[in-house]
Amino acid sequence: MPNDPLVLAGKAVATAVKDGLKDRIEKLAAQGIVPGLTVILVGEDPGSQSYVRSKERQSGQLGFKSEVIRLPAATGESEVLDLVEHLNLDETVHGILVQLPLPRHIDSQKVIETIHPDKDVDGFHPVSMGKLVLGLDGFVPCTPAGIVEMIKYYEIETSGKHLVVVGRSNIVGKPMANLMLQKTKHANCTVTLCHTGTPDMGVFTRMADILVVAAGVPQYVGPDMVKDGAVVIDVGINRIDAPDSEKGYRIVGDVDYEAVAPKVSAITPVPGGVGLMTVAMLLSNTVKSAEKRLK
């Protein structure tokens, strides 16, 4: 019999996260501190432009000192590195985010490593990643952190469950796997990490109690790859042609939502799911950085 799955909508969770930040921001303000977030955007990538506007709008709504530094695509690597070093020394800036992807002539990893770990609110610095692996307190990459918040909000049982991650990026796959194997509440999973080198992916995805898909391939996961009653978390955001729509395209995830939903117990929609959590967790990391500075 087809299920009527729980839809794991991101809007309610993101709102709860941001509401929870308000008291903390007020306490910082009483000490004369305003959380400061500076975003560096190099080039004109449409997806990046949209994402940065969302960050700018939402941080402003919470009363952040928010700044976006927009640079032309031809900006040299040394100029970007010098700018990051300048922001490292600015005591009013608690979070530095360099929007990815960067133009090809700029070494993204070098830029990430130049950001001071105390201001690495994206959670991509090797120090942040190392702390995550070791289970130490630090900045967690925003998308995996947002997924954990969704798991908490919807009270999804994780302890002892088999969690399968599809995708091994430094942004989602690797940190997600490491987060969920930690011996903590809302984690403590048995974790399998699949990727492009995994033969017969379905063998592993069909074993998943919780399936996190960050493959970067539109509607890659169909019902034949999912176990009955699984929880499916779709990280993908893909634009596909849709001549019958007003825009000429539509946004889909890495999971074939319409086909998979009747088979599972819970699933995230795209759009309206995980994507809404990323900015919320960036704001949370920035407040955390400001609090650390106060201490």
Q: 141-277: CATH homologous superfamily?
A: NAD(P)-binding Rossmann-like Domain (3.40.50.720)
Residue 2 confidence (pLDDT)? 60
32-116: CATH superfamily: Leucine Dehydrogenase, chain A, domain 1 (3.40.50.10860)
Sheet containing 95-98: which strands, arranged edge to edge?
Answer: 65-71, 36-42, 95-98
Burial 64-74 (b: 16+ CB within 10 A, else e): bbbebeeeeee
Q: Do domains 32-116 and 141-277 have the same CATH topology?
A: yes
Q: What is the mean pLDDT of each run of 10 residues along the chain (295 residues)?
A: 85 97 97 96 89 92 96 97 98 97 97 98 98 97 98 98 98 98 96 96 98 97 98 95 86 97 98 96 98 88
187 closest CA partner among 158, 155, 229, 151: 158
Domain borders along the chain are 32-116, 141-277
- The sign one gets for the Cα dihedral 13, 18, 24, 26 is negative
Instruction: Find the radius of gyration of the CA atoms of the chain.
Output: 19
- Indicate if 227 belongs to the active site: no
200 has catalytic annotation:
no
User: Does the annotation mark 256 as catalytic?
Assistant: no
What's the pLDDT tens digit per position in 102-133? 999 999 999 999 999 999 999 999 999 999 99
- The pair of three-digit structure tokens given for residue 134, joined into one six-digit string: 């070791």
Point out the catalytic residue in the list 18, 99, 219, 254: 99
Catalytic pick among 118, 120, 122, 209: 122
Q: Which of 18, 55, 227, 288 is catalytic?
A: 55
Closest C-alpha to 135, from 188, 208, 213 = 188
